[in-house]
Structure 1
């Protein structure tokens, strides 16, 4: 099968470790995002921003939003290679595509980031240098077809989010965590992959029974997988700060469910980040999607809440 040519800039390259895989036997979403954050650092170098992710950096790339499509699962030992390009660049922000492929060239996951060129004290955006603008022109690319949003509307503005609004919407508190120093970057802020990691760790508190029942009804061993997601990064907590995850089902389809997760500061009540995710349940033996019964879907529809990313 022919696959699209790689994007201009070589970024992350490595393979899947067994300990990075979850109960589904494939690379967990947290580690897809970890590779994307590595990719951003290599992308900074390609944009003539050397050492942009060291503590002494004067400027760096700060993710504002990310859209992700998970296209083909990555199993233990699988080689992975990422390339990137610049889809759009304005005065102080840019849209970057980071495309991670399997060894045969098939897409594994594809990330479209909106990033800001920011100083490293208050992390305020400021204009790109002329050198970086010229690099951006050299790395210009079209968004690959497999990166285009399929089931998530990116045109919707992010919601106003607070902890109290989550409680008022009857969203379930599914996670509580503490930011540790080893989870933080050189600037002392929580790394991007750990936002998703906190959600991934917490989702069983919302969906474990649903997945177990779906598996029993189909004679399968179930696990979950995200197929598409949108992340909105709002503030970056530091070591010692607390995290809560409040989540809810917002749509139940024939084979997929749509969830919205709000990651909040339980002490101040404001938002750290939010995520919309389209997910499915699959059989870990056959690797095929499990279709819940109409009765099971009806029960889930009774749990819908009004949340938006």
Structure 2
């Protein structure tokens, strides 16, 4: 799964702040889009979420910014699954400048699978846990 991008896009001038680089709100947005692409690969598709009455909620998010992104830069995010538990998932995103290959930011997120109506955490279905287990990242290697 690490070889396929979970997000590709461009930094637009209106996404930049007074310093001239992409504002932090857009990093968060691009990482969020990567979340949904990764979730879909695990079976947590929009159809599944609608029909099952389930949802995903972020409960922790840690972002490290290492290189600025400027208007016109092409962005690529690769993601890997770090951990799957009964009701939660932990993943890591790497955002790179697609032209230079430099890491611009990383984001580790913990999400909880929930029952939308009850507003409580819910166990993942076995088919979701099984699909996720096939995508668990090895513990150490970096994404290239």
Unpaired runs of 5+ residues, structure 2, are none
- What is the match of residue 210 of structure 1? 43
How big is the shift at 1:275?
0.7
- What is the match of residue 266 of structure 1? 98
How big is the shift at 1:297?
1.3
Cα RMSD (Å)? 2.4
- What is the match of residue 11 of structure 2? 179
Query: Measured at CA, do residues 171 and 250 of structure 1 come closer, stay the same or move farther in structure 2, by a change above 3 Å?
Result: farther
How many Å separate the matches in 2 of 1:240 and 1:292?
Answer: 39
How many Å separate the matches in 1 of 2:127 and 2:72?
Answer: 44
Are the equivalent residues in 1 in contact too, given 2:8–2:77 (CA < 8 A)? yes
Are the equivalent residues in 2 in contact too, given 1:237–1:272 (CA < 8 A)? yes
Q: Normalization by structure 2: what TM-score?
A: 0.84
Query: Measured at CA, do residues 220 and 288 of structure 1 come closer, stay the same or move farther in structure 2, by a change above 3 Å?
Result: farther
Are the equivalent residues in 2 in contact too, given 1:215–1:283 (CA < 8 A)? no
Alignment of 1:1-309 (within 5 A): 170-208=2-40, 210-212=43-45, 215=49, 220-306=52-138
How many Å separate the matches in 2 of 1:210 and 1:288?
Answer: 20
How many Å separate the matches in 2 of 1:283 and 1:172?
Answer: 30
- What is the match of residue 52 of structure 1? none
Are the equivalent residues in 2 in contact too, given 1:260–1:308 (CA < 8 A)? no
SS across alignment from 1:204: helix
Q: Normalization by structure 1: what TM-score?
A: 0.41
Poorly superposed stretches of 4+, deviation over 6 Å: none
How big is the shift at 1:262?
0.2
Which structure exhibits the higher relative contact order, with contacts defined as CA atoms closer than 8 Å and separated by 6 or more residues?
Answer: 2
How many Å separate the matches in 2 of 1:227 and 1:214?
Answer: 21
SS across alignment from 1:182: helix
How big is the shift at 1:177?
0.9
How big is the shift at 1:214?
6.3
Are the equivalent residues in 2 in contact too, given 1:172–1:248 (CA < 8 A)? no
Unpaired runs of 5+ residues, structure 1, are 1-168
Query: Larger Cα Rg: Structure 1 or Structure 2?
Result: 1
Are the equivalent residues in 1 in contact too, given 2:34–2:79 (CA < 8 A)? no
